[in-house]
Amino acid sequence: MKKPLDQLAPRAALVDIARDFHARGWMPGTAGNLSVRVRDPLPPEADPAAVDTEDTFWITASGLPKGRLAATDFVRVAVKDGAVVERFDVNARPSAESAIHQVIYRHFADAMACLHVHTVDACLACADLPSTATDMPLPPLEMIKGLGVWQQNPRVVLPLFENILDVAGIAEAINWRFKGMLPTVPALMIRGHGVTVWGTTVQEAYNRIEVVEFLMSYLARAQACK
Ligand SMILES: [Zn+2]
């Protein structure tokens, strides 16, 4: 039996996830990126908002096929400014989308892993939303409990961001919005692009992205049946 992800070394866990997601068509070619924060998890009594750290995170290096990663195909980046602090290959560079991971780690001090994938279902699920929409309503299905929502017929939305060529602009939009209000679920959607999900462990982030993609598949199929 395979080990739980949290019993693997952090980069080995991300390699495992990348192969898994590539096989599902969630990380075609070089698309998507996965990261893990380099720091011990916060103790349960810690106030995440009060923690100011000099953390870094390992993220998949840019431009590499996600079905064939090795544990050395990562770049370690500072949360505060995105500077590369460690890499195994002098030519390795972080994805432009590492700026989105930076924003997540800055706003959620208890986030230890962040996963971003490009899926057909997520793109289809938001295709019919008005161009002015800034939220993506999620269906009130049983699976939504996997995002920590325990309510009867919950009304939950994912924060929705426009996809623009300059990824730094997307990251800034996320940063600006989260400064005003944090989302009620640990996930966000970029229109026509894909979801980003985070968790307090690698396994938790993995479980949550499966939940979110289940909901994206439901929405995509429900729209196709209209
Ligand atoms: Zn992306």
Tens of pLDDT, residues 163-196: 999 999 999 999 999 999 999 999 999 999 999 9
Q: What is the pLDDT of residue 50?
A: 61
How far apart, in whole angstroms, are the C-alpha atoms of residue 4 and residue 18?
Answer: 15
CA of 116 to the centre of ligand 1 (A): 6
| CATH code of 17's domain | 3.40.225.10
Tens of pLDDT, residues 54-92: 899 999 999 999 999 999 999 999 999 999 999 999 999
What is the pTM (predicted TM-score) of this model?
0.94
Residue 43: how many other CB atoms lie within 10 Å: 6
Tens of pLDDT, residues 135-171: 999 999 999 999 999 988 889 999 999 999 999 999 9
**Residue 96 pLDDT > 90, yes or no?**
no
CA torsion angle for 168, 169, 172, 177 (degrees, to 10)? Answer: -150
CA of 118 to the centre of ligand 1 (A): 6
How many domains does one find in the chain?
1
Domain that holds residue 206: 5-224
CA of 65 to the centre of ligand 1 (A): 14
CA of 98 to the centre of ligand 1 (A): 10
Give the dihedral sign, CA 59/8/105/27: positive
How far apart, in whole angstroms, are the C-alpha atoms of residue 191 and residue 175?
Answer: 17
CA of 82 to the centre of ligand 1 (A): 17
Q: What is the 3-state secondary structure (H, E, C) of 25-94?
A: CCCCCCCCEEEEEECCCCCCCCCHHHCCCCCEEEEEECCCCHHHCCCCCEEEEECCCCCEEEECCCCCCE
How far apart, in whole angstroms, are the C-alpha atoms of residue 131 and residue 136?
Answer: 11
DSSP 4: P
Q: What is the pLDDT of residue 131?
A: 94
